[in-house]
Amino acid sequence: MKGLVIKSTTWDGETYKIAATEGIHLSVEMSYRYGAIWCPSGNNGKESLSWRGGHLDVGDEVEIRVTEITPEEITPPTEIHKQGTIPPLSKIDDPELWADKLYTYLRYKKILEDEGLI
């Protein structure tokens, strides 16, 4: 199956081989408040899989190569979530998560007020 070979300075130069039966994705997000974060993840039908991502700082490097990977070569994921399950309450009630949601809400509210839409 097709997969990605990823080597990252954020992993101290470790190399991961990732693949999943239903596909894989690599997301990178940048925001003013939190900086840059990234996460390689995938789906095998009934589970969502992810491999160590994390914060990216200036100078960090992520090397990605598309290749054929056999199931035996795949680096085991660091997190597995059954699809359709509710995350643990500890993640839902995380104060940092709610602070971030409040910050985002207030930012968008201010934009709408400045534009005279509310």
Whether residues 79 and 96 share a domain: the answer is no
Whether residues 91 and 47 share a domain: the answer is no
Whether residues 24 and 49 share a domain: the answer is yes
Which burial class, exposed, middle or buried, applies to 6 when counting CB atoms under 10 A from its CB (0-12, 13-18, 19+)?
Answer: buried
The parent domain of residue 99 ranges over 86-118
Whether residues 33 and 90 share a domain: the answer is no
In angstroms, the first-to-last Cα distance of the chain is: 51
Whether residues 110 and 59 share a domain: the answer is no
In this predicted model, what pLDDT tens digit does every residue of 7-31 receive, in sequence order? 998 888 889 999 988 888 888 888 8
Whether residues 12 and 62 share a domain: the answer is yes
In this predicted model, what pLDDT tens digit does every residue of 37-83 receive, in sequence order? 888 998 888 888 888 888 888 888 899 999 999 989 999 888 887 77
